[in-house]
Every structure is written in C-alpha cells, then in structure tokens.
Amino acid sequence: MSTDYEITEAATAPLLAEKTVINGKWEILGHIATGGKGEVYLANQVNLERKVALKIMSKAFVESLHGDKEELKSELDRFRREVMVMARLRHPNVIQVFDFDQVQIDGQSLDYIAMEYVPGSTLKLTMPEEGFGDDEERIKEWVRKFFLPVLDGVEAIHAAGIIHRDLKPANVLISDGVPKIADFGLAGGDFTDDVTKSHHILGTVPYMPEEQFLGLAMADGRADIYALGKILYAAVIGKLNKENSQPFKTAALPAPQTPFMKRLDGIIQQATARDRNERTPSVKDLRESLRGLIGDGVQAAVTKATRRTWVVAAVVVVLLLGVGLWYHFSNDEPLSRNELQVLSGEVAELESRGGGKATLFPTARPLPESIIGKDGATLRLVPGQAQNHGSTSAAVAPFYLGETLVTNHQFVGFLRSVPGVKVQDGTVMGNGEIWLILGEVTEGYEPILYQNGAFVLPPTFALNPVVRVTALGAQAYARHYGLTLPTKGHWNHAEEMGGAVTTAPSAKPQATITAPDDPAAANRLLPVIMSPPNALGVRGLGKNVREWVRVPGQGDSTEFHVVGGMVKDQGPESHLRRQPWEAFFDVGFRTALTSP
C-alpha cells in the first residue's frame, strides 16, 4: 500500500447515528471518520447553532483494553489530558476546545471532546511532495504565509507550559489560509504528569528527536524545535524518506549553493541538532533567524493578516470527506516497509542505550475498507470480481473509489495550491488546458468566484459537488494528489456492487454551457453529505450529478464519458462521450485509486 494514503479501519458501523443528541447539547450531523482509538463526527451545538468536530472514544477500542487496566487508564488519561491542554490555550493558530464530558452508551461511559471545526486542508498539502528545492521566492512565501504563524502558535503553547511532542505537517490544519495546530494527545509539560505506559513508539519518527524515542518524559520544548526544523527541511527537500532523512539525525540540505540557501541550511541544521543542548533554544530564536533570512517587516505583516483572518466568521459547512480532520485519531504518518527498515540500525542502537522495545513492522492484513488520499478525501474499497468460467466479463481487481464527489471547497483548494493557474474571461486554465468555467451555474447559484486575483468560495456552497469542471480539470486534480479518474468499467462495477440505483439517468448532449430548463436544478446539487451511502459506503453514485469517467483506448489514447445523474427520462445505461475541454452545469467527478 502506498504511503501516500492514511489507513483507516471501517469494519464497524459508526457508534452515533445522525440526529442523535448528546447530553442535550450536541446534535450529530454526520460521521466524518473512524480511527483505531476514536470516532469523529460533525455536530451542531444546539443552543448556539455552531458546527463543531466531536471526537469520542471508540467503544470497540475501550472494550479491547478491558483486560489491561493499566493501559486502559493510560489511554483514558491521555484522552482527558488532550482536553485539559487545549482548554488552556486561546490563540488563533491553535485549535480551540469547547466542551469535554461523558455520555452513556449501552451502559458504558465514553468520553468525548467538542472542538473547533476546521473544514480546510493541512500544512502537508501546502508543501510540494518534491519540495520547493532552491526556489527562494516560493520558500519565502511559504515561510511568511504558513510557517511563521505556526511558530506563533507553538510559542503560545510553550508559554502556557505545554510541549506538543507530535508536531508534523498533518497535525497543522489550514482554516481559510490560517494554520491551526491540532492533536494534543501526546502533549506534556509542567501541568501534568506523563500518563504514557505503552512500550510503543509515541510520536512520528521522521519528526521525532532522539530523546523522545528514549522516553516521552525526556522531551522538553527543544523536541518541538526539532520537529519544526524537520518540517522546514521537508518543505525544501520534499517528502521525507530513507534517501533524504535519517531518523533522529541532524538534517542538512544537499550542497546549498546560494547565500540564501546556505543560511537556510544553517537554520535547519541548528534546529535539528541531534544533541538538544546544541539545538536552537527557543521558538523566538528560530523565528528571528527566519525573519532575518527572508527580510525585515515580515512578522508585522503576518500578524496583521492573521488577526484579520481570525475575526472572519467560522465556515458553517461539513466536509464529510474528512479533509484535515483525520488528525483527531491518527498518531503517525504511515511509513513504507522500506522506510521502516532503515530505522532498524537506529532502533537497535537506541534500545541498547535504554530505549526499551518497540514494534516497527505492522502485521500483515487485508486491504482496509477505506483509505484517505493525499487530498484528505476518503476512498472506499470496491471488492474485485473474478472472471467466471465461460463468462465474457473481464475480471476486476480490487480498487478504491472516492466516497463522495469532489466538492467546490476541495477544488478551490487545489486551484489555490497549483502554480501557474490563470483566469481569463471566466475560464480557469492550467498547463494551457481549460479546467473550469466560472459564472452562474443556474440563476442565483454561482459557487466559485474570482475576485481581486483570488478564488473565493461562498461558505454556503462549499460542500456542493464542483460542476462545470472539464475532464482535463478533473484529471489534473486527480493527478495532483496521486489519484486518477475512475474508468467507466470501474464506475459501473462500483455501482453494481453497491446496490441498485433508483435513478441513474443522463442529460441530453450539450455543445455549450446552458442553464437547465428546471429552475430548481440548483437544488439538485446537494451537499455531498446529503447523499446516503450505498452498501460500499460510497455516497451519491449515480445520483445528484453526472460524473466524468475515462475509457482507456489503445496506447495512450483516452476517451472521456459522463455517467449517472438525476435528469429525468433517461435509462440507467445511458452515457455520453464528451470532449475533454467541455464543461456542463450538472457534471462533476470523484477520484479513484485503481492499483492499491
């Protein structure tokens, strides 16, 4: 399994059903994700009509620890400590907690946290997988816009006597361009004793200093400095792997040439010094070094922009795809077996110095029922199908299909993150290709705007499926995140495996974009969460809007078709071959991973 995807177990149904009201305060709107230890839901605070992320301890996980009272107490204490830590913090670059309580479910008390809901992506998605390299201007821009605000948040955390101990790109959420530090499950400091009794590695190896591996209690604020240095290093060098990053070692740029890159290399090396006594002593010192590198007056501009964004009202939409929210239950970014093997020598050395035992290699298991792609979206496993003897139907290997259609929110995030996107006369272009047509989809419904050189997304439409996107735009989005468009055969197989579809029609051919005859057509563009899941957990397949699929031809040739939809009087087998630069008011797309 590629390490670009976060594995989640989805073997059991969500614990809380939609419309369940917890303790008279929190109405469950939908299930976002399930991890090994907890479940995350979108909920509405009844008295304030405020959307929050509600995280509850998994009943199955609690029951699995009943035979180990010490470990159960440790996990419960860790969960409660996360609340205590977050409740002490009030800063625009730190996720805010609203409530902590217990609820009785089937006679068992389960803890839950209600916290700020962030429908954005993560810092990881602002960092190119190949890194910024020696592009000094892009490095400066990224440091100003994202990294300095992260330092502000970490400095506030340290000022409160707290050590995060699991800083990494996936644990920094991006809310309307503002970084927010999350996941305080491993936090410690002068306010509480360490509660960890487990012998497993706690933290994320690529961002973890040696002293934290030897013992969580040994990590002080300089452990967070090390993690910050590795984040900065990863932004420049690209995704960390065995070729470019040795665990617990000092990070260094390969042969920096210019004065700027040499100074940046020195900053990274000092922040990631293996000996913590030689490490950059504080966040303030790290910030001052970076300000001196990228130019004076930076911090004032960043602070002003941060304050301005902080007062913007929170977006009241749900992103069921889980973009940015899987941080609630994920402790580690997945590593490949090759990446894990490179740790063996370091582990042996550190264990000999008192680090204890740690299990690095996962046990073999079947394909998980869901994975999370690099765009943060959930993809569901579609079982394969063997070719029956004498049948003309081809065998189908297992593959993954997007749980929902790609939303306006996700596509705007893509457009904002890709360099070289141009807008001319309402046409969005990238790499010389037409990707999206702006303007009203139907009367009064204009989901994506382009104002003052920036893409703007009205919150009301954030969770609707993106439409008027071309096959080229859909394919560019998928490729950017290491995914693909589903083939027509995969789409049909998923529809068949998921159960019968009551309405799976298709629209009449259109040469240009025109509004539909039905004035209520905009109402058909339902938020993706409104489509109930089929037997595979895939939502809206063959419903809501039509979808782009590809039909591979000979060699490198590919046709693009549209399938599904809700237009009346069309048969379930109807589909249309369309040109890849065409766009339609009722055609969106979802992504797939066809070679798991």
Taking only the tens place, the pLDDT of each residue in 135-159 is 999 999 999 999 999 999 999 999 8
Q: Which helix (H) or strand (E) holds 429?
A: strand 427-430
Distance (Å, whole) CA 508 – CA 519: 17
Q: Using the predicted structure, report yes or no on whether residue 515 has a pLDDT greater than 70.
A: no
Q: Which residues contact 471 (CB under 8 A, 6 or more apart)?
A: 485, 548, 550, 560, 578, 580, 581, 582, 589
Distance (Å, whole) CA 225 – CA 283: 7
pLDDT at 355: 45
Residue with token string 């109402």: 523
Cβ 495 vs Cβ 501: under 8 Å: yes
Which band of pLDDT confidence, cut at 50, 70 and 90, is reported for residue 36? low
137, 213, 271, 296 from 232: Cα distances, Å: 15, 21, 10, 19
Q: Using the predicted structure, report yes or no on whether residue 572 has a pLDDT greater than 70.
A: no
Select the more confidently predicted residue: 430 or 56: 430
Q: What contacts 24+ positions apart, CB below 8 Å, involve 21-29? A: 21/46, 22/54, 22/103, 22/112, 23/101, 23/103, 25/99, 25/114, 26/52, 26/54, 26/99, 26/114, 28/54, 29/318, 29/529
Q: Using the predicted structure, report yes or no on whether residue 562 has a pLDDT greater than 80.
A: yes
CATH 1.10.510.10 for domain 123-355, yes or no, is yes
pLDDT at 278: 95
Residues 368-378 have pLDDT tens digits of 888 878 887 88
Domain with CATH 1.10.510.10 in the chain: 123-355
pLDDT at 82: 64
Q: Using the predicted structure, report yes or no on whether residue 339 has a pLDDT greater than 70.
A: no
Catalytic residue list:
166
pLDDT at 218: 76
pLDDT at 305: 44
Short-list 261, 237, 266, 263, CA closest to 250:
266
The mean of the pLDDT values for the chain is 76
Hey, what CATH class is 6-116 in?
alpha beta
Residues 401-450 have pLDDT tens digits of 999 999 998 899 899 888 889 999 899 999 999 999 999 888 888 999 99
pLDDT at 530: 74
- SS3 at position 281: coil
pLDDT at 393: 59
Residues 402-416 have pLDDT tens digits of 999 999 988 998 998
Residue with token string 């060098």: 237
Q: Using the predicted structure, report yes or no on whether residue 37 has a pLDDT greater than 90.
A: no
Average pLDDT estimate for 315-335: 35
Separation of CA 380 from chain center: 15
The beta-strand segments (E) located in 485-565 are 546-552, 558-564
pLDDT at 89: 80
Question: 10 Å Cβ neighbour count for 14?
Answer: 18
Q: Using the predicted structure, report yes or no on whether residue 347 has a pLDDT greater than 80.
A: no
Neighbour-count burial of 76, counting CB atoms closer than 10 A to its CB (0-12 exposed, 13-18 middle, 19+ buried) = middle
67, 298, 314 from 383: Cα distances, Å: 35, 52, 39
Which band of pLDDT confidence, cut at 50, 70 and 90, is reported for residue 180? very high
Residue with token string 């006597």: 161
State the pairing for strand pair 427-430/422-424. Answer: antiparallel
pLDDT at 488: 92
Query: CATH: 3.20.20.10, 3.40.640.10, 2.40.50.140, 3.90.1580.10. Which one for 377-593?
Result: 3.90.1580.10
Q: Amino acid identity of 73?
A: K
Measure the N-to-C terminal CA separation of the chain; round to a whole number of Å: 6
Q: Which helix (H) or strand (E) holds 224?
A: helix 221-237
Distance (Å, whole) CA 460 – CA 463: 8
pLDDT at 370: 83
Distance (Å, whole) CA 259 – CA 86: 40
Domain with CATH 3.90.1580.10 in the chain: 377-593
pLDDT at 168: 93
Which residues are bridge partners to 402 per DSSP? 379
**Token pair listed for 593:** 């991973």
Which residues are bridge partners to 449 per DSSP? 456
Q: Using the predicted structure, report yes or no on whether residue 317 has a pLDDT greater than 50.
A: no
Cβ 385 vs Cβ 395: under 8 Å: yes
Average pLDDT estimate for 454-480: 90
Which backbone phi and psi does 60 adopt, to 5 degrees? -65, -40
Distance (Å, whole) CA 245 – CA 236: 12
Q: Using the predicted structure, report yes or no on whether residue 322 has a pLDDT greater than 70.
A: no
Q: Amino acid identity of 120?
A: G
pLDDT at 203: 67
Residue with token string 């050395």: 349
Q: Using the predicted structure, report yes or no on whether residue 291 has a pLDDT greater than 70.
A: yes
Neighbour-count burial of 215, counting CB atoms closer than 10 A to its CB (0-12 exposed, 13-18 middle, 19+ buried) = middle
Cβ 433 vs Cβ 581: under 8 Å: yes
Which band of pLDDT confidence, cut at 50, 70 and 90, is reported for residue 485? very high
Distance (Å, whole) CA 87 – CA 116: 12
pLDDT at 223: 92
Residues 80-130 have pLDDT tens digits of 766 677 777 889 999 888 888 888 887 778 888 888 888 767 898 889 889
